Amino acid sequence: MQALLALEDGRIFRGKGYGAKAECYGEVVFNTSLSGYQEIFTDPSYSGQIVVLTNPQIGNYGTNVADNEATRPFIEGLVTREFSPVSSNWRSTQVADEYLERYNVPVIDDIDTRALVRHLRTHGVMRGVISSLETDPDVLVAKARAVRKMDGTDLASVVSTKTRYEWDANDLRNQNDDPLLSPMPAQDAAAPPLHVVAYDFGIKHNILRMLTRENCRVTVVPAQTSASDVLELKPDGVFLSNGPGDPEPVGYAQENIRKLMGKAPIFGICLGHQLIGLALGGKTYKMKFGHHGGNHPVQDTRNGKVQITAHNHNFAVDPDSVKQSEVELTHIDLNDNTLEGLRHKSLPLFSVQYHPEAGPGPHDSQYLFKDFKQMMVAWKG
């Protein structure tokens, strides 16, 4: 089937349609990862976004339950150069075409993704529409201009779990057969597990796997859970997850973080990092086209070491807005000097903008989960 991608500035791309025969709306962003497309599909941080994948061939190794980062895809739509209708991999249980069709996600294929990415890099991310239903470009451009902007939108409460639950690492649906990702007994597995309460602003399964690897029992709570309810669970540590949308309107989370600071160790990733920055009195801003990919060099300012890291964010904390008398700026992106990590100088609290759990991406930064564990052990005394 034929499909069209229309951008709010009037640019039109024509291609072939796969996945669902449908129409989708969202902010168009690009991801430069070379593999891990299923993890990208199912990352809740992509809610409200149409994703352009720069790797030319997508779908060639199919999909399987173990690679999901959530229970379903969260991307609004997918843009590719070459979308494979067949899969060739022993782990595949369903071709990507059928998988996305099942969840009503439309795909546009056979377009010049290099031209599209250059356009977004030059002009910034913008709203768009993919349609295999409407053939009039002017109608689609008008629909793109009517899409709600990401700025000022709280999506964390939309994608969050509605009820509290215990993460079950023994559930086969929550396991991954990659030995670097799968839960495994910690070296001190005989010790009582540490209890982590994880705020779900759009949490990924691999974050929960990594916490489990550090001998943690994880209770996942909805985004709007009060600080008092969290403290009633007697956590050894509080985790603030990744998630979609603008951090600024998520005021309830900022208030809860302020109430939890000094009451338990806190570790934040991605949106969690941005919310910590706001809770500490800082400001956030929207980037021109964000960071989305698995090859970003980040330097630890404390020792000069460089890590290759996975990123997925459109917003960032303004380093000049943070009180450096209270907060240490620990990580900087070497591509554009974006603030990528911070640590409080007197309280057990730290965060990073990038994704140390990968899924997909490199494993350079997984030591941060061990740092969180050590912080909890020291706090517990």
- In whole angstroms, what is the distance from residue 67 CA to residue 326 CA? 40
- In whole angstroms, what is the distance from residue 345 CA to residue 302 CA? 13
The residue annotated as part of the active site, out of 205, 273, 311, 355, is: 355
Residue with tokens 């430069």: 32
Would you state the structure tokens that stand for residue 172, as one six-digit string? 């086969």
Beta strands in the chain (DSSP E): 2-7, 12-19, 23-31, 49-53, 57-58, 77-79, 82-83, 106-109, 126-131, 165-166, 194-200, 216-222, 237-240, 266-269, 284-300, 306-317, 327-333, 339-344, 349-352
232 assigned to active site = no
270 assigned to active site = yes
Report the SS3 class of residue 122.
helix
Q: Which ranges in 269-333 belong to alpha helices (H)?
A: 271-279
User: How many Cβ atoms are within 10 Å of 53's Cβ, its own excluded?
Assistant: 25
- In whole angstroms, what is the distance from residue 48 CA to residue 276 CA? 23
The residue annotated as part of the active site, out of 39, 216, 270, 273, is: 270
Report the SS3 class of residue 93.
coil
Q: Is the separation of the CB atoms in 302 and 330 below 8 Å?
A: yes
- In whole angstroms, what is the distance from residue 175 CA to residue 164 CA? 20
357 assigned to active site = yes
Which of 277, 285, 241, 12 is CA-nearest to residue 150? 285
Alpha carbon separation from 130 to 20, 56, 110, 111 (Å, rounded): 11, 19, 13, 12
- In whole angstroms, what is the distance from residue 147 CA to residue 27 CA? 8
- In whole angstroms, what is the distance from residue 51 CA to residue 116 CA? 11
What's the burial of 367, exposed, middle or buried (CB within 10 Å: 0-12/13-18/19+)? exposed
Q: Is the separation of the CB atoms in 127 and 144 below 8 Å?
A: yes
Would you state the structure tokens that stand for residue 70, as one six-digit string? 């959530």
Q: Would you name the residues annotated as active-site residues?
A: 270, 355, 357
